[in-house]
Chain A
Amino acid sequence: MADRGSVMVSSGAVGLVPLAVTLVLAILMLLPIGSGVANVTMPHLVMISCFYWLSSRPLLMPYGACAIAGFALDLWLDVPLGLNMVLLLLARLFVLTQLKHFKGRNRLVYWAVFSTMSLGLYIISWVIISIVDGMLWPAKPLALQWLVTAFSYAPVAFVLGRLRRWVF
C-alpha cells in the first residue's frame, strides 16, 4: 500500500503545494511588517497553514512535511531547534485524532478548534522554552501572540481556501 509520503509525490507538483505554501508563510513571518519588534504581534502563520491543510488535505501534509516546516522555522526564527518541530507534529496528531468530531462543520467550529489547539500548543511551547532556558519566561507576550494568531485564523484560512480551490 502506498504510504503517506508517496501521496505527496504521486499527486505531482500539486501535492507539494501545502508544504510550499507553509514554507512561504514561514518566510512571511520573518518580514519586518510594521516594526522591528513586530515578531510579538506577528501571527503564527505556519501553525495556521498546517492546521488548515491538515483539516482539509491531511495526506498532503504528512509528519515529514510538518517536521520540515518546523525545522526551517526554528532555524529562521532563531528559536531553540526542535521547538516548532514538536509543535507542528503535535498539531498534526491533534487534528488527525479530532478531525472526525469537527469535519464538515461550519467555519466557526474550525476557528474554535484552532484557537483551542493553538492555546494548548502555546502553553506547551512556554513549558519547553522555560525548560530549555532554565528560567520561567514571562507569559504575557506569549498570550498576546496566541490572541493575534487565533484572530488571524479566519482571514488566513480564507486566503488558503481560495488558493486550495484554485489549485486542486
Chain B
Amino acid sequence: MQTSRLSSSGMPGRRANRGRERLWLYLVISVSFLTLEAFGPGVPTQIRAYANDVVAPVLYLLERPLRAVQGGLERLAGASDIYAENIEIRGENERLKQWREAALQLGRENERLRQILKVPKREVPPAATARVIGVGGGTFERSVLVGAGSNDGVTRGFPVVDVNGLIGRVLHVGRWTSRVLLVTDLNSRVPVRVERTGALAIAEGQNEGFLRLKFLPRAAKVQVGDRILTSGHGGVFPPDIPVARVSEIASDFIYLEPLGILAKLDYVRIMAYEAVPEVGGLLPGEDPADG
C-alpha cells in the first residue's frame, strides 16, 4: 500500500529518513554554536558586525519610508495642539536664549580658569552622528544598530548619547554600522553618581524600560526626581553625562527612568572617548597623594 511507505507528514519514508538525518546534522551544528557561546570564545564579534553591514542597505531602504509614515502620523496626531505648542515653544526659546548666554559666559570663564590652573580639557569630541537603522536582541538584548562604523572612526566601547543623555556604548563595529548596547540591557552597568549629593553607585539595566540603582552607600540620601550622572569611574564613560532620573524608591530597590529617549531613538551621537583602564585600583587622573 502506498500509505505504508509514507511518513506521518505524508512524505515518502526514505525522504523522511534523510530529513531526520539532516535534522540531526543541523541540530548538532547549532548546539555546537551554543556550546561555543556558553563555554568557548563564541562567534567572533567581527562576523556579527559584518553581518550587520550586509543587511544595512536594506534597512536604510526600508527605514526611510517607515520614519516618514511615523512622522506623518505623529504630525497628524499633533495637529490639533499646534497653537498651544507654538506658544510653549516660543517661551522655551526665550528661556533657552538666556541660558545660552549664561552658558557661553560660564564656558569662557571656565576655560580661563582651566588655563590658569593647567587643568586638562574634559570635552569629548564626537566621533560621528548616526541614525538608528535597526534594533536587535529580540527579548534577550536591548541594542540598536546605527549607521556609522569603523569608516567613520567609531571604535568598540565608545559611549553613545542623544540630546538628553546617555544611550549606551558601542558593542560591535562593522565598516558602515555599529551595534550599540543600550543602558537598559541586562548586561549594562554604568558607574554613576547622584548629582545632588555626589553619592556613587551603579545603574544597572533590567531589560525593561527602567534601570536600577545598586551599590548606593547606606547613608546616601536619594529623592524622587534626583538626576543621576556618569561618575567616570572605571574609565568606560566620561564623567557628568546625564543618565537617568530617580523615578521610584521602593523598599528594596531604587528605580531610574533613563533620560535618553530610548523609546524613540532617531539620531545619536557617538563620542570619541577611549575607555581608560584602571591601574592599581586608581581612577584615571587620581593622585594617591590626594587621599
Contact = CB atoms under 8 A, between A and B. Distances in A.
Given A32-B134, A67-B29, A78 B48 contact: yes
Interface string B39-61: 00011000110011001001100
A99 to B, nearest CB: 5
Given A31-B134, A63-B22, A132-B38, A37 B263 contact: yes
B265 A35 contact: yes
Interface of B: 7-12, 14-15, 18-19, 22-23, 26-27, 29-34, 36-38, 42-43, 47-48, 51-52, 55, 58-59, 62-63, 66, 70, 132-145, 171-172, 179, 182, 184, 186, 206-209, 262-265
Interface in A20-52: 27-40, 42, 44
A100 B66 contact: no
A38 B70 CA distance: 14
Question: Which 3 A/B pairs are nearest by Cβ-Cβ distance?
Answer: A82-B33, A36-B265, A85-B30
A64 B26 contact: yes
A89 interface: yes
B18 A3 contact: yes
Contact residues of A: prevailing secondary structure: helix
A14 interface: no
A79 B140 contact: yes
A70 interface: yes
A141 B139 contact: yes
10 contacts: A27-B58, A31-B59, A36-B135, A67-B30, A76-B52, A79-B138, A80-B37, A81-B42, A99-B8, A141-B207
Given A1-B15, A132-B37, A39 B27 contact: no
A100 B8 contact: yes
Contacts of B9: 58, 96-97, 99-100
Contact of A142 (B19, B29, B43, B139): B139
Given A96-B8, A142-B139, 10 more contacts: A70-B30, A76-B134, A76-B136, A79-B140, A80-B42, A86-B31, A89-B30, A97-B9, A128-B34, A132-B38
